[in-house]
Amino acid sequence: GQCVLDEQTAMSTSAMGKAASDRLMQLKAAVDAELGGEGQAIETEYKALAAGQKAAEATPAAKAAWQGKAEAWEKKRQAFQAKVQQRNQEMQYTQQEVMQAIFQKMIPNINAVVTQKSCATVLSADSLLHYDMTTNTAGANSQTSFLYANPAMNITTAVVQKMDSTGEKLPAFDRVKLDQPAAGAAPAK
């Protein structure tokens, strides 16, 4: 009859999903390192600028020079904020592409399990009533999730086992770069 599949759990607990998650964490760490250094430099420059503000008010020439530095710093800050936003978008696009690629590789495995289990229909676990509960046991929080469906209907574990048994790997991937020209676009002259 009816079967239930939790796509997110299948993607995140499969070997392919875990490898993708590890790679995404590496890419995020590289972005954090890149932005952290720049952010720290901008912060240091701001502190020096703020510290010199009172002294710069002594003469009109010093004040004009300080204002020029403040304007230059503001441009750097705005450029940095735009870069942070761009890197966040790049990571979001990368994650979406990876999830889509995993799901595409998951489809034949879902079909095989559906055939094996004789499922007439497959419902997404997201469409069913479920409840997440955090309990505190001996000082440690534990997350418990209840899915309101007969456990015999849930094919998630079978799909993960089928995916893992193929040994198929997700192709290597890097962060999507939004500041690069689109593929096939003419290079700037």
Domain carrying residue 58: 2-130+147-166
pLDDT at 189: 34
pLDDT at 131: 58
pLDDT at 101: 93
Can you read off the two tokens belonging to residue 133? 């509960």
pLDDT at 180: 55
First to last CA, the chain: 62
Asked if residue 173 belongs to a domain, the reply is no
The list of the chain residues with pLDDT below 70 reads 128-139, 142-149, 180-189
Tokens 């008010």 belong to 57
pLDDT at 147: 56
Asked if residue 141 belongs to a domain, the reply is no
Report the SS3 class of residue 150. Answer: coil
The conformation of residue 125, written as its DSSP 8-state character, comes to G
Asked if residue 66 belongs to a domain, the reply is yes
Asked if residue 139 belongs to a domain, the reply is no
pLDDT at 100: 93
Asked if residue 180 belongs to a domain, the reply is no
CA 63 vs. chain centroid, Å, equals: 45
The total of structural domains in the chain comes to 1
pLDDT at 95: 95
CA 21 vs. chain centroid, Å, equals: 9
